Amino acid sequence: MGRSELLAALDEARALSAGGSADPQVIAPLLVRILRAAADTAEVTDALRGVTLSRALLRVTDASAAIEFHAGDGGLSAEAADMRGKGPKVDATAATWLGLLGGTLRPWLAFTRGLVVCRAGLTELRWMQTVAERLQRGYEDARSHEARS
């Protein structure tokens, strides 16, 4: 996986977001695909440098799905997990996660409007917002690099 797979997955996410009625059961695997491709994209991992390494259980509330998520220090990993898995729990609907991790919803909007609920506390919420901002910056860098190629 790499930049081309990431951009293809992001384009798919954008198309699903624009459609407005995506099946939540389809979105959860797409989110894992986006994050795994992002982990293999230099622009994204570079954007995550300087972010404290931490983890969270991203729960897709309307799909009864979860993603074990680690990010920071220039690294990123994601895999499907159990809804009651270990780690700080961060809840959002499939549409919110699709917009946030797919790059179509600005992190400040998702976090200030209560679209994302962090069950663990304020520290994890701030970390998640920082990671989302850095991911989106990495996506933009990957897109501009692809356009120059």
**Average pLDDT rounded to a whole number, residues 47-56:** 96
pLDDT at 21 over 90: no
pLDDT at 62: 93
Model confidence at 107, pLDDT cuts 50, 70, 90, reads: confident
* pLDDT for the residue numbered 18: 83
pLDDT at 113: 81
Domains and CATH numbers, the chain: 3-143 (3.30.1050.10)
List, as one string, the DSSP characters of 69-125: EEEETTEEEEEEE-TT-SS-EEEE-HHHHHHHHHTSS-HHHHHHTTSSEESS-HHHH
Confidence of residue 112 (pLDDT cuts 50, 70, 90): confident
